[in-house]
Structures are given as C-alpha cells and as structure tokens.
Structure 1
Amino acid sequence: MDGGRRRWWTGAAPASVLVHLAALYWPVVTVAGPVSWTDKVVHLVLFAVPTYLVARLLARPIWVVLGFALHSVVSELSQHYWLPGRSGDPWDVVADVAGVVLAGLALLVSGRSRRC
C-alpha cells in the first residue's frame, strides 16, 4: 500500500470505530426510516464498515473479525443492562454478526484481488 492510500485507511478506520462506538453507546438513539427493518440495516453497516477498515490495516484480520463479532454481543448486553433508554435486542446481534460476516467476505475477496 502506498503512502497516500495508507494514510486514508489509517484515518478512515479510527473514524469508523468512533462512529460505531458513539452509535452503540449513546444513551438514547431513535432510528426512523421508511421500513421497520431500517434499524437492522444500520446495525449491519455499523459493524461491517469498521470491521473491514480496521482489518485492512492489521496483519491478522481474523482477530478483528472475531473481536467485532464478540463486541456485537457485548454491546447489546451493555445497552440492555447499563444504558438508560436503550434495550438489548437479539435480532440486533444477528444484524451485527451479519455485518461482520459481510466484512469478512469482502476481506477475503479483496485479499485475493490484491495478490493477483
């Protein structure tokens, strides 16, 4: 990775993690959208984007993928037990893990294309 591209990834990855954490641990969040599953799409994106960006920077992306998958459970339990105005939802965990899996698949595909 050249210097300019490396700087982009180095800036984008922490920014995505900050958005990820803010959205998951803000005391009260309401997601309004045209359909009832908008919240699940938001969860999928909140986990897919930072998983992909952070994993692209590290030598062992499997640990990033596993870490974000574990964080999906931790974040929902934290919302349920310790954040007033929030509630844990098992379906959010499913959407979170789907985002992590999607990022993992994208990492596999992008890793193969970088080697060619």
Structure 2
Amino acid sequence: MTTLSPRSAPRSRVVVGLAVAAVVVQLLVLYWPVVTVEGPVSWTDKVVHLLVFAVPTYAVGRALGSVRTAVLVFAVHAPVSELVQHFLLPGRSGDVWDAVVDLVGVALGAAVLVVRARQRRW
C-alpha cells in the first residue's frame, strides 16, 4: 500500500504545519554551513541522521497522504545531501554511512506510516 486512506491522513493545517516544520529542521541540520564537534563524532551523529529523515518522511507522507511520494523525495534527498555537504559546504563532509542511516530513517518513517494506516482500518 502506498496511498493512505483519507481517514488516516487528514490534511489539517496542524498536520501540514508539522510537516513543513520537520522539513525546515531537516534542512537546517543538513545544510548549516559549519558544524563544530569536539572530539570524535560518536554514534549520536547516526541517531540524528536517522531522526532527521524518519520524522520528515512520516510527517510529509501523512500530510500528502502518500507513502510513495514521501519515500521517493527523501530517498533521493539522502545521498544528495551527503554529496552537497561533501562538495559544496566548507567545513562539512559527506559520509557514505550517514547516507545509509538516512535511508534507514526513510524506511522507518514509511514503516510507521503503513503500520498506522493499517491499524486505523481495523
């Protein structure tokens, strides 16, 4: 299933507002020009990457009522964001493992959308 039923995906202003906020936060986290990290980057960086893709995928999918569209947009954005960080943002670097975790976040956000839609139909 890739399209959520109208009942499971209300397009209220609150839902749309939360989706917009999630995307804005994502863009700030990914494209802020300089990130100062003291010491080695730990596993918390990967948790941030997971959440910064899972939450917007869920929120945008809910706002649009389409899992497929949200997954497509964010699955493309994940590797592109790492390339932009690596080649275009001074003080930032891209990481293949960050892109992998980003894609896991997309899958997680999509999975939550699908599970919630199925639960609402029961």
1:26-80 per-position Cα deviation (integer Å, ceiling 9, x unaligned): 11124569x8100000000000001100100113320211210110000000000
Which structure would you say has the larger RCO, counting Cα contacts within 8 Å and 6 or more residues apart?
2
Sequence identity, in percent?
A: 58
Q: Helix, strand or coil for the counterpart of 1:50?
A: helix
Q: CA separation of 1:32/1:105 partners in 2, compared to 1, >3 Å: closer, same or farther?
A: farther
1:71 aligns with 2:77: yes
Q: Helix, strand or coil for the counterpart of 2:53?
A: helix
Instruction: Pick from 73, 78, 86 the counterpart of residue 92 of structure 2.
Output: 86
1:24 aligns with 2:17: no
Report the counterpart of residue 41 of structure 1 in structure 2.
47
CA contact (8 A) 1:28 1:86 kept: yes
Cα RMSD between the aligned structures? 2.1
Q: CA separation of 1:6/1:31 partners in 2, compared to 1, >3 Å: closer, same or farther?
A: farther
Query: Structure 1: which amino acid aligns with 2:18?
Result: A
TM-score by length of 2: 0.84
Q: For residues 58 and 38 of structure 2, what CA distance do their matches in structure 1 show?
A: 26
**5+ long unaligned stretches in structure 2:** 1-6
Q: Helix, strand or coil for the counterpart of 2:90?
A: coil
Query: Structure 2: which amino acid aligns with 1:58?
Result: L
1:59 aligns with 2:65: yes
Query: Structure 2: which amino acid aligns with 1:70?
Result: V
Q: For residues 57 and 5 of structure 1, what CA distance do their matches in structure 2 show?
A: 5
**Number of matched residues?**
113
Report the counterpart of residue 112 of structure 1 in structure 2.
118
Query: Structure 2: which amino acid aligns with 1:91?
Result: W
